[in-house]
Every structure is written in structure tokens, then in C-alpha cells.
Chains A and B, each alone.
Chain A
């Protein structure tokens, strides 16, 4: 048995072992492991010709597509780190990420041309683009690479301590932070997760989550690791299409977030579809309402339902064994295999059952730190048990029950979880303040049946300003990723303040809760 040391080994070993097996299904295309391996090698050689070297950063700015999968493996083969950037990212943030990481190359799609045209990135030397006929930018067309050129296998010259990926995540300060993950971090997380999910070669996993979200990305990585088949969907916009594919392909694994399950359960004929091939369902990012857990189990009695919890900084923290679901439906479970979790008080001392404290994670899945942000890194990575070891302070408050199972209490900062993705109120407020006419802005999360939390912006306008809620939303849509655009905007004469003159968000939040309760 070949042991996986590097993330790209997931593809390479499966291509050796199961060359003719279908690895990836996307729309009407089916690609085998051997085909993907060959194309990833071709693309890697093109990157080498373009001067990409071990340690460089390369961006993938695409929606869920075969090209995005090929790109990530090609980048890894070269020894560079890939960065999956949400395809709805707008010019200003894209430029920030590209310049912050000093990425030398970008692989993208013609449809992103308008956004890319606006960025000024002195380090960016090479742009490789699919459907490039739509764009005026100078770039290498993606399609021609895959049908011509060299086909040698690229031999890796790097080790598992090298950087495999940087995943940008929202921070409470509003500046996106680049989570640095080594090959070892990612291999370790993938190994732990596939162990407790008991994944095997027969698994057919459907992924509707964006690859820019680590939960979506890992479906590809883990599916390839086990030699299974991954069905990559663009999104869950047309649920029936996804269900139809799930039935035809006899899907065994369905990863989702509460928003996806809420949509699924709203379908009129959900109980009529034959999804008996489902072996497991996973949920993370936010807790499923107990009523949804009940309904999912009625609909899919043969499928094991895993409630999980995690953060990009270590990928996954915990999972609840399905057999514990009846006993503790609101728990997110215990640490994964090969990982230790504990709760500490404000002095960093471990606390006992029932006591609330910050959750700490110890394991080889814990990130290397935030890219070029030593202060932020020092706040969450602190010395561990042995010299040089660092453990992750999650910023999430938890308590443990008598049997060692974790129960989420609250976050220490004001990050909003919307559709399972972290949204930084500060990042949205920064955008709002840049709109002429906005005097004050405060963004909070409000409860929402489908989204979990919806983003709501409270605005006070400068005297004489005539801007409307629509103007504000339009401005947000031009500057923020789609999932960050507020669902609600409320313009007020003024916003409530604390004694020291700061905007008092807690009272805005309280109003929202009481409004919902009285409805």
C-alpha cells in the first residue's frame, strides 16, 4: 500500500491503481483517473515553462469545473501552493489577495475577464484562461494546453512540510487572512475524515459546495484519495437536477450545510425520490435544526448522518458518531482520529465538563499560520505540549459534557455564519463606509430559516444624502462576494451608541431577536 505523503499523491496513486475508473463527473463529462493525471501533468509542464517554481503561489479563480480540479493538482505537482478564490470575488478583494500572496500565475475563466481586467498586480506574470475568446486580456488559452505539448510525468521535488495551499478566510478585522496549509496538514485532515466516514473505493460523492470553500475542496481531495468517484456540480441552484444525477449515479455520500438541507426539505416530492444508495450525509458549518435532523433521518433511514464542526485553520475539528445523534442531537461530537481537543479558561488552563471555555485543537492538521500576519498568527497558534509544537485556539466557546462530547456555546468575535460560510461584519462595513453618503454602518447577523444567519446592514446617512436601500445593495453587489451581500438593509436617522460613542451592535441584534420572537 502506497502511503500518501503529498496531496497530489491522492491523484497519482489512484491513477496507478485504478487508471480506468471514473474519478470525476461534471455535467456531461466523465474523466478517469488516468485522464486527469495526464492532463494535470501537461498543465504542470506549462506552469514550469512559465517559470513557476516550488514555493510560488498560484491562484485559481474559477467556478466549480473540471479545469479547477486539473489546475489544483497541476499546481501541486510543480511544488507551488494553490489558492482557490471564490469565483464571485470582485476586483478590489481579488487585487488584495493577489498582491498579498504575490501570486505569480492565475488560472481562470473568460467569464471572469471583466473582474481581472481591473486588477493591478505587479507579481502576476502568467494568466491561463478557459474560453479566452471572450476576453481582451493577454493570456494562454487553457484548452490548447490539454491537447498538445509534452506529456511527461512531473516528479515532485518537495516534501510534506512544504506549502500546499493558502485559503483566504474572513477575519474579524475585515482584512482577509491567508490560512497556510502544508501538504502534511491537508493529508492528515483528509486521512482523519475519510477514516471516521469509513470512505471506500465504492463511494460516489456529490459535491454542490464551491471549491473555494474548504468543505467543497476536500470532497475532491478525499474522493481521489480513496479512489472513489466525485460528481462535481456547479451549485445547488437547481436541486432537482442534482437529485436526478444522484439517483442515476447511485450517490453514496452527500455533504451539505444547513442551507442546502433546508432547500432539499422544501422540495414538494422529496419523499418520492429513490435515494436509497445514500450511505452517509454530512453537515457542518452550522448546526442543523433538530426538526431537520429528524426529517432527514425519516427520508433516508439507511444513511448515517454526521454532525460536524470545523474551521479552515485546521479543516475539521470534530464529528458526532451517528449512533450518538439521538442521545445528544445538539452536540458536534468529539475530536477526529489522530487529533486532540480540549477546552481552556482565560488563563489557558484546561477546564472540566460543563464549564465554558475556548476550544483548543492539537494535531498535524493545524495550519502553519496566516500568510505574512505574525500578530494574528500568534493570537491563535500558541505553544503546545512539546518544543516547537503549536496548538490552535479556535476563538469558539464550547463546553464538554460528562462523556467528552462538545457543545458549541458562542463565538468570541462577531463573525456571521451565512450559508455555512464565515462573513466578517467589518469587511462589509468597510465597503459600506466607502459609499458616498453613508455616515454610519453596522452589520449584524439575524436569524434566517434558510441561511442560518442572514446579513443585515443598519445605515445612517449623511445629512442631505438621497441614497436608497437599493443603491446600497447595488454598491455591495459590485464590491462583495455574493454570499456577503446583505439580505436586509435598514436606513435609520441614527444608530444606537455606547457611552464611549461606539455603535452598539448588541442592542441592534437584540431588537432583531425580539422582532422574530413576536412574529
Chain B
């Protein structure tokens, strides 16, 4: 839960400029919602790498891992577990 909270917070702060949209659910696609573009994704990757001390490989940078709060939190959890 904490993980999802942190991701949500980052997205709302950086891509929604602090506006907690009621429609913004954890399963909503960042792409479809128009939240993240090619430079936004770079910011998201740096956030994830620095905050959770993981390294994201090129092949892992795909919508299945990054395109919603749910997907990203599952990806980060798995990376942290794999690193243990």
C-alpha cells in the first residue's frame, strides 16, 4: 500500500501538478490519460531508480511494467524481491 501511495504521490505531484483528480484510479493507463510522454517517462524512471535503488533495463521499460500505479508497484515489488 505504501508503495502505491508513493507512486500516486509522485504522479499527482509531477504530472497532475498537485491536483488529485477523483478519476485517477490505480488501474488507469498513464498513456491513455495523457499523463506521461517520452520525457515524462524519463522522469518516472529516474524517480523509481533513485527512490527504490533498482536499475531498470531497457527491455523492462514497457507499458506492462510502467503504465499504471498497479503495474508499476507490482514491477517495483518484484525488482526489490529479486534483488534480495
Contact = CB atoms under 8 A, between A and B. Distances in A.
A474 B62 contact: no
A154 B5 CA distance: 55
B57 interface: yes
B37 A450 contact: no
A213 to B, nearest CB: 13
Contacts of A451: 39
Interface in B43-84: 57-59, 61-63, 66
A478 B67 CA distance: 22
Contacts of A234: 31
Nearest to A469: B17
B39 A450 contact: yes
Given A268-B57, A450-B39, A482 B17 contact: no
Contact of A267 (B17, B31, B38, B58): B58
B45 to A, nearest CB: 10
> Which residue of A88, A268, A471 has the most chain B CB atoms within 10 A of its CB atom?
A268
Contacts of A347: none
A482 B34 contact: yes
A88 B34 contact: yes
Contacts of A266: 42
Nearest to B59: A240
Given A268-B57, A268-B58, A269-B57, A238 B41 contact: yes
Contacts, number: 60
B19 interface: yes
B66 to A, nearest CB: 8
A240 B66 CA distance: 13
A138 B84 CA distance: 55
The main secondary structure of chain B at its interface with chain A is loop
A270 B66 CA distance: 20
Contact of A470 (B18, B57, B66): B18
Contacts of A269: 57-59
A172 interface: no
A268 B57 CA distance: 7
A474 B66 CA distance: 23
A236 to B, nearest CB: 4
A300 B37 CA distance: 26
A473 B19 CA distance: 10
Given A88-B34, A474-B17, A259 B58 contact: no
B17 A239 contact: no
Contacts of B41: 237-238
B32 A474 contact: no
B37 A240 contact: no
B11 interface: no
A477 interface: yes
B36 interface: yes
B36 A239 contact: no
Contacts of B66: 238
A291 interface: no
A268 B61 CA distance: 11
A260 interface: yes
Nearest to B37: A237
A477 B18 CA distance: 11
Contacts of B63: 238, 241
Given A235-B38, A237-B38, A240-B59, A111 B16 contact: no
A259 B39 contact: yes
A156 B56 CA distance: 53
Contact of A111 (B32, B36, B62): B32
Contacts of B57: 268-269
Contact of A240 (B34, B36, B61): B61
A477 B58 contact: no
Interface in B1-49: 16-19, 31-32, 34, 36-42
A471 to B, nearest CB: 8
A482 B37 CA distance: 9
A263 interface: yes
Given A88-B34, A240-B58, A268-B57, A477 B17 contact: yes
Nearest to A451: B39
B38 A259 contact: yes
A268 B62 CA distance: 14
A470 B37 contact: no
Nearest to A450: B39
Given A235-B31, A470-B18, 5 more contacts: A111-B32, A259-B39, A474-B19, A477-B16, A482-B34
25 contacts: A234-B31, A235-B31, A235-B37, A237-B36, A237-B37, A237-B38, A237-B41, A238-B41, A238-B62, A239-B58, A240-B62, A241-B62, A259-B39, A263-B42, A267-B58, A269-B57, A419-B39, A450-B39, A450-B42, A471-B17, A473-B17, A474-B17, A474-B19, A477-B16, A482-B37
Interface of B: 16-19, 31-32, 34, 36-42, 57-59, 61-63, 66
Return the 9 tightest CB-CB contacts between A and B, nearest first. Answer: A474-B17, A473-B17, A470-B18, A236-B38, A240-B58, A237-B38, A267-B58, A269-B58, A470-B17
